[in-house]
Amino acid sequence: MGAVILLGIAQTLVAYWVLLKIGRFARVDAASVAAHYGSVSVATFAVGVNWLTARDISFEPQLPIFLAVMEVPAIVVGIALARGLSAGTDWGRLAHEAFFGKGVVLLLGGMTIGWIAGSEGLASIRPLFFDLFKGALAVFLLEMGLIVARQAGELRRQGLFIIAFGLLMPVASSAAGVACGVLLGLSTGGVALLATLAASASYIAVPATMRLALPEANPALSLAAVLGVTFPFNILVGIPLYYELAAQVSGVVR
């Protein structure tokens, strides 16, 4: 868990530097967008799990815990980059939102309930939460498509940089995720899923926290990059690409 937390922090710092120095973003906007890219996407992770499962590719069961712990560090780093360690920042309120926001509570609560119930306890609810999952995911992805359409104007205004960043940042992050997974000794499927996590970007937990912590940041910039470019890229192209990268690197290392 320590390794993946450091991975998320490193991604946030790299994204911030690129946005600030190359993209010439304002400090607060660079910090906000960087926090989105240092955090993770539950939906992208879910699609990655289904992609591997459909191909009978196994992965370690602790990957959902990596998902949960990678959600928060980028938020804290992003706020610190934008605000600095100023005395006027309400860190207690921000920490509550970061650590006890709805997304984090649902993730940790769901894993706790599953652990307590065990496989036999979950059998009675399998038709709702397992069998219908792909249908619910399809509806969710359609909703994401509508949100992306509403951000098209911001993509046009920002030009090629935001598109290039939205495509190249997840590829670079996936390479870091592969390296981290190999160092942790994960299987090829586990390495691919960690790379997918690293390549994903948050559009639920982080936007909610950034609205509270950095109200002056432009949320359209983050959503245009994350939902307009990175999310569809990961779903359509990225996940198979990350698996191939994981397979190649794992094969060389082993």
Q: What is the pLDDT of residue 89?
A: 63
What is the number of structural domains in the chain? 1
Q: What is the pLDDT of residue 88?
A: 62
The model's pTM is: 0.80
Assess whether pLDDT exceeds 80 at residue 215. yes
Buried b (16+ CB within 10 A) or exposed e, 86-118: eeeeebeebeebbeebebbeebbeeeeeeeeee
Do 191 and 249 touch, CB atoms closer than 8 A?
A: yes
Higher pLDDT, 217 or 165: 165
Q: Give 1-47 as a DSSP string.
A: -HHHHHHHHHHHHHHHHIIIIIS---HHHHHHHHHHHHS--HHHHHH
Write out the residue range of the structural domain in which residue 230 sits: 2-253
| Confidence at 94, pLDDT banded by 50, 70, 90 | low
Higher pLDDT, 183 or 91: 183
Assess whether pLDDT exceeds 70 at residue 86. no
Q: Work out the average pLDDT over 181-190.
A: 95
Q: Give 179-236 as a DSSP string.
A: HHHHHTT--HHHHHHHHHHHH---SSHHHHHHHHH-TTS-HHHHHHHIIIIIHHHIII
pLDDT tens digits along 137-176: 778 777 767 766 776 676 667 678 888 999 999 999 999 9
Q: What is the pLDDT of residue 111?
A: 76
Cα separation, 73 vs 4, whole angstroms = 10
Cα separation, 44 vs 15, whole angstroms = 19
Q: Work out the average pLDDT over 6-16.
A: 96
- Angle at which helices 27-38 and 160-183 cross, to 10°: 40
Q: Work out the average pLDDT over 11-18.
A: 96
Specify the range with the lowest mean pLDDT, choosing from 13-22, 56-65, 98-107, 118-127: 98-107
Do 226 and 40 touch, CB atoms closer than 8 A?
A: no
Q: What is the pLDDT of residue 209?
A: 77
Cα separation, 144 vs 232, whole angstroms = 9
Q: Where are the beta strands (DSSP E) in the chain?
A: none
Assess whether pLDDT exceeds 80 at residue 60. yes
> What integer best gives the mean pLDDT of the chain?
85
Structure tokens at 241: 């690409």
Q: Is the dihedral of CA 26, 226, 9, 173 positive or negative?
A: negative
Higher pLDDT, 99 or 170: 170
Q: What is the pLDDT of residue 177?
A: 96
- Environment class of 222 (CB within 10 Å of its CB; exposed 0-12, middle 13-18, buried 19+): buried
For residue 144, give the CATH number of its domain: 1.20.1530.20
Structure tokens at 22: 């190359």
Assess whether pLDDT exceeds 60 at residue 70. yes
Q: Where are the beta strands (DSSP E) in 69-121?
A: none
Q: Work out the average pLDDT over 38-67.
A: 92
Q: Work out the average pLDDT over 207-235.
A: 84
Q: What is the pLDDT of residue 124?
A: 85
Structure tokens at 124: 């009675």
Structure tokens at 126: 């399998």
